[in-house]
Structure 1
Amino acid sequence: MARPKPWEADDELWAVVQPLLPTVERRPRHPGRKRHPDRLAFQGILFVLHTGIAWEHMPQELGFGSGMTCWRRLAEWTEAGVWPRLHEVLLAGLRKANALDFSRAAVDGSHIRAFKTGAKTGRSPVDRGRTGSKHHLITDATGIPLAATLTGGNRNDVTQLIPLLHAVPPVRGKRGRPRHRPDVVLADRGYDHGKYRRLVWDLGVKPLIARRGTEHGSGLGAQRWVVERAFAHLHWFRRLRIRWEVRDDIHEAFLTLGCALICWRRLNDAVVR
Structure 2
Amino acid sequence: MPVLPGFITAPLWEQFQALLPERTVTQPLCCHRPRIPDRVVFDRLLARLVLGGTYQQHADQTCSATTMRARRDEWIRAGVFEHLHRFALEAYDQAVGLDLPDLVVDGCIVKAPCGGQNTGRSPVDRGKSGLKRSVLVDGSGIPIGWVLAGANRNDSPLPRPTLETLAVVGLRLPDAITVHLDAGYDSRQIRELLAELGCIPNITPRGTFLPINHTHRWVIERTNSWHNRGFAALAKVTDRREEVQNAWVALASAIIIIRRLIRRSWPLYRWEGRPARRP
For normalisation by structure 2, the TM-score amounts to 0.86
Query: Secondary structure at the residue paired with 1:251?
Result: helix
Q: Which amino acid aligns with 1:53?
A: G
Query: Secondary structure at the residue paired with 2:158?
Result: helix
- Residue 217 (structure 1) aligned to one of 207, 210, 214: 210
- Residue 77 (structure 1) aligned to one of 75, 81, 84: 75
Contact persistence 1:135–1:148 (CA under 8 A): yes
TM-superposition CA deviations, 1:176-225 (whole Å, max 9, x none): xx338971110101111212211122112112111223x21387843110
Work out the number of aligned pairs and report it.
263
* 1:1-273 alignment runs, 5 A limit: 4-6=2-4, 10-27=9-26, 29=28, 32-60=32-60, 63=62, 65-168=63-166, 169-171=168-170, 178-179=172-173, 183-213=177-207, 215-217=208-210, 221-235=214-228, 236-273=230-267
CA distance in 2, matches of 1:40, 1:7: 17
- Of the structure 1 ranges 215-224 and 247-256, higher mean CA displacement relative to structure 2 is found in 215-224
In the alignment, structure 2 segments of 5+ residues that lack a partner are 268-279
CA distance in 2, matches of 1:237, 1:52: 7
CA distance in 1, matches of 2:66, 2:257: 28
Contact persistence 1:7–1:47 (CA under 8 A): no
Post-superposition offset of 1:266:
1.0
Q: Which amino acid aligns with 1:67?
A: A
Deviating 4+ runs (over 4 angstroms)? 218-221
Post-superposition offset of 1:126:
2.2
Q: Which residue of 2 aligns with 1:175?
A: none
Query: Secondary structure at the residue paired with 2:215?
Result: helix
Contact persistence 2:3–2:47 (CA under 8 A): no
Query: Secondary structure at the residue paired with 1:243?
Result: coil
TM-superposition CA deviations, 1:95-128 (whole Å, max 9, x none): 1012311120111111111111211111122222
Q: Which amino acid aligns with 1:39?
A: R
Post-superposition offset of 1:7:
7.5
Contact persistence 1:107–1:187 (CA under 8 A): yes
CA RMSD of aligned residues (A): 2.3
The change in CA–CA distance for 1:218 and 1:230 in structure 2 (over 3 A counts) is closer
